[in-house]
């Protein structure tokens, strides 16, 4: 798997991920690039310098900014490790994604989740985008810092979260006004797919549904945008503001 771009490569270097090598464009002299190269040397990572056209050929969309890291396939966490991490907190947040199929949306949600300090993200093994090169790039390195579990059955995962004190909240039309809902405590936030929303059985397994008030004529938001709005409302409530 390839990790591209300055931010993504820098964040990757902060983890203990196995890095095969990093391709670096010749002639980079800006301060940020020098810091990243110094970090590579501190990590004793294999560095291969090459001309820009070599990186262009390796890059998916030529947005590498002079850096492409080659790593092993993404290593998913287990739901048990996410629950263990959350067990010591009274205000833990876990996000469940119900068949998010667009890698760009998944990458954006991971980035939002990392910024919001969530304890984990849970995705299904089937009919869902998986963590790949595109997701890593869009997440701007966030996928290196958030635990992501891949499960066979989302409803079983939700039941495990309930058993560990989580209040399961789905974001969907027709629910309680988001800004009147109490989002404190252990929160499991469920976000549905881009085209179909939360599936019926998953929705029935939610403790409640919240809806983002909207004034425009279009009655739906992009999944990553909706996730960000609900997540940061939960954080606002936790900060008491």
* Per-domain residue ranges of the chain: 2-71, 79-238
Task: Render each residue's pLDDT in the chain as its tens digit; 241 residues.
Answer: 888 889 889 988 988 888 899 999 999 989 999 999 999 999 899 999 999 999 999 887 778 999 999 988 888 999 999 999 888 888 999 999 998 999 999 999 999 999 999 999 999 998 899 998 889 888 888 888 899 999 999 999 999 999 999 999 999 988 999 999 999 999 999 999 878 889 999 999 999 999 999 887 776 788 999 999 999 999 999 987 5
| Closest to 91 measured CA to CA, from 180, 167, 190 | 167
Q: What value, to the nearest 5°, has the Cα angle with vertex 44 and ends 41 and 45?
A: 90
As given in the structure block, the two tokens for residue 34 are 């020098």
Helical packing angle, 6-13 and 31-43, nearest 10° = 30
Q: Hunting for tokens 């976000």 — which residue is that?
A: 191
Six token digits for residue 155 = 């409803």
pLDDT of residue 108: 95
Residue 176 β-bridge partners: 210
Given the candidates 3.40.50.2300, 3.40.50.2000, 3.40.50.1820, 3.40.1280.10, the CATH classification of the domain at 79-238 is 3.40.1280.10
- What CATH fold (topology level) applies to the domain 2-71? 60s Ribosomal Protein L30; Chain: A; (3.30.1330)
Q: What is the pLDDT of residue 164?
A: 93
Output the pLDDT for position 241: 58
DSSP 77: B
Strand partners, 93: 187
Contact 85, 147 (CB under 8 A): yes
Is residue 191 within 8 A of residue 121, CB to CB? The reply is no
Element (DSSP H or E) covering residue 122: strand 120-124
| Sign of the four-CA dihedral 217, 218, 219, 221 | negative
8 Å CB contact between 157 and 126: no
CB atoms within 10 A of CB 54: 15
Radius of gyration of the chain (CA): 19
Where do runs of H (alpha helix) occur along the chain? 6-13, 31-43, 52-58, 79-86, 103-115, 133-138, 154-163, 200-204, 223-238
Number of neighbouring beta carbons within 10 Å of residue 160: 17
> What's residue 147's pLDDT?
94
Q: Name the nearest CA neighbour of 170 among 122, 136, 202, 133.
A: 202
Cβ neighbors of 163 (< 8 A, separation 6 or more) are: none
């Amino acid at each position: 798997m390839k990790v591209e771009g300055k931010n993504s490569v820098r964040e990757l270097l902060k983890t203990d991920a196995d890095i095969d090598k990093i391709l670096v464009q010749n002639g980079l002299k800006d301060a940020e690039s020098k810091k990243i190269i110094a970090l590579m040397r501190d990590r004793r990572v294999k560095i291969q310098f090459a001309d820009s056209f070599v990186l262009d050929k390796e890059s998916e969309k030529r947005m590498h900014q002079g850096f492409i890291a080659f790593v092993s396939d993404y290593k998913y966490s287990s739901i048990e490790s996410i629950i263990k991490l959350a067990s010591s907190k009274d205000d833990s947040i876990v996000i469940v994604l119900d068949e998010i199929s667009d890698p760009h949306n998944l990458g954006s949600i991971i980035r939002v989740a990392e910024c919001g300090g969530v304890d984990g993200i849970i995705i299904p093994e089937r009919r869902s985008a998986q963590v790949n090169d595109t997701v890593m790039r869009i997440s701007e390195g966030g996928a290196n810092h958030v635990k992501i579990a891949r499960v066979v059955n989302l409803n079983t995962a939700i039941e495990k979260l309930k058993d560990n004190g989580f209040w399961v909240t789905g974001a969907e039309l027709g629910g309680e006004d988001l800004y009147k809902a109490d989002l404190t405590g252990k929160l499991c936030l469920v976000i549905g797919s881009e085209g179909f929303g939360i599936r019926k059985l998953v929705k029935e397994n939610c403790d409640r549904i919240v809806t983002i008030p909207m004034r425009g004529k279009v009655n739906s938001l992009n999944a990553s945008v909706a996730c960000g709005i609900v997540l940061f409302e939960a954080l606002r409530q936790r900060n008491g503001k």
